[in-house]
Amino acid sequence: MIVVLKENPDPRQLENLMQWLKSLNLDVHVSSGSQQTVLGLVGDTTAVDIDLVRALDIVADVKRIQEPYKKANRRFHPLDSVIPVGCGIQVGGSHFQIIAGPCSIESSEQLCSIAQAVKASGATILRGGAFKPRTSPYSFQGMHEDGIKLLLEAKAATGMPVITEIMDISQLDLFDDIDIIQVGARNMQNFELLKCLGRTNKPILLKRGLANTYEELLMSAEYIMSRGNEQIILCERGIRTFETFTRNTLDISSVPVLKELSHLPVIVDPSHAAGIARLVPTLSMAAVAAGCNGLMIEVHNDPAHAKCDGPQSIRPEAFDALAKRVASLRALMTAQEA
Ligand code: PEP
Ligand code: MN
């Protein structure tokens, strides 16, 4: 971190600043020019409040040279992280996985028929929401504990690892046999929830918030990792832009950028990004071409009557076709890399 001082800084204030920085275990290198003095801070600056330093009377500007996240940073962990998520499935590195299933669990018949179909088409992880973060309090809120039971039954029947969203830490006891805990876009910055999940040993799928930057997403991953749980999968699911045709705007750049900044696996959810079922296959292909480590796709056997997110849910037959196209694109990409 570099601190640029204003001209002729008050010596007492400068001394106080130096003492404070040194008390944070930083080495402070002073370069004094004829016009300006610059302080170079060497050491772990993650705990330095950059806005606090910038607000000091004698400071003209502060620049971070290193990112404020450490555990999620590829700089300190050059190799891709590979996260084992149960039932022998791994996410990250060269392991590509497709998570598929309904937005919300509605009944045993609905979940089982979708689960069998997506498994037969090549999905390796089953999704299904039991606690649903809905915009309207009058919309279906999920089957809660009963939904979790149905998801565990589908896990037993198919042998697939399962993922479902947690909305509050009070629900954690219900997640004992769930393989991956999803933190939804709306909870990406629920820091108390993140801290609690950091004390669990479950893989966490962390979705990017509707209006959050890459750095904010990585800082949220850092919240979980700094508490001891380093099994994080990042998920791009579209962000809010001025465009209203699609539900959100899929930010394809997030895939190469997040993979450059971090060693954590990055998966893409084109269903919530598009909000329109017919766009899901094309966006999936774009995400795969961009180098994502997996996809999360909403699939429903009767989208017109789905209790949640029907318009963006594809039918099992469309999922089958999508999975085949994804497999051929991946085969092509792998052959080119070799
Ligand atoms: C979901 O996966 O069903 C969901 C609610 O996603 P998001 O948090 O990305 O909106
Ligand atoms: Mn959904």
Query: Is 69 contained in some domain?
Result: no
Cα three-residue angle 6-7-12, rounded to 5 degrees: 80
Exposure letters 169-186 (e unless 16+ CB within 10 A, then b): bebbebbeebbbbbbbbe
Ligand closest to the CA atom of residue 165: 1
Q: Which numbered atom of ligand 1 lies nearest the CA of 186?
A: 8
Question: Per-residue confidence at 65, pLDDT binned at 50, 70, 90?
Answer: confident
- Residue type present at position 92: G
> What is the count of structural domains for the chain?
2
The CB of 133 under 6 Å from ligand 1? The reply is: yes
* Res. 75: pLDDT tops 90: yes
* Res. 316: pLDDT tops 90: yes
High-pLDDT (> 70) share of the chain, %? 100
Average pLDDT of the residues in 177-190: 98
Question: Per-residue confidence at 102, pLDDT binned at 50, 70, 90?
Answer: very high
Query: What pTM value is reported for the model?
Result: 0.93
Mean of per-residue pLDDT scores for the chain? 96
Predicted pLDDT of residue 333 = 96
**In which residue are the tokens 């598929």 written?**
100
The CB of 209 under 6 Å from ligand 1? The reply is: no
Query: Is 48 contained in some domain?
Result: yes
Q: Which domain holds residue 22?
A: 2-63
Cross-strand pairs, 266 = 234
Nearest protein Cα to ligand 1, atom 6: 184
Q: Which residues surround ligand 2, an ion (CB under 5 A)?
A: 103, 309
Same domain, 39 and 98: no
Could you tell me which residue, 203 or 37, shows the higher pLDDT? 203
Tell me how far apart the alpha carbons of residues 96 and 266 are, in angstroms, rounded to a whole number. 10
The CB of 129 under 6 Å from ligand 1? The reply is: yes
Query: Is 161 contained in some domain?
Result: yes
* Res. 214: pLDDT tops 90: yes
Average pLDDT of the residues in 37-63: 92
Average pLDDT of the residues in 177-196: 98
Predicted pLDDT of residue 332 = 97
Cross-strand pairs, 163 = 127, 180
Predicted pLDDT of residue 209 = 98
Nearest protein Cα to ligand 1, atom 4: 184
Predicted pLDDT of residue 265 = 98
Query: Is 76 contained in some domain?
Result: no
**How far does residue 258's CA lie from ligand 1's centre (Å)?**
19
* Res. 215: pLDDT tops 90: yes
Query: Is 68 contained in some domain?
Result: no
**How far does residue 212's CA lie from ligand 1's centre (Å)?**
15
Predicted pLDDT of residue 32 = 87
Same domain, 151 and 97: yes
**How far does residue 25's CA lie from ligand 2's centre (Å)?**
46
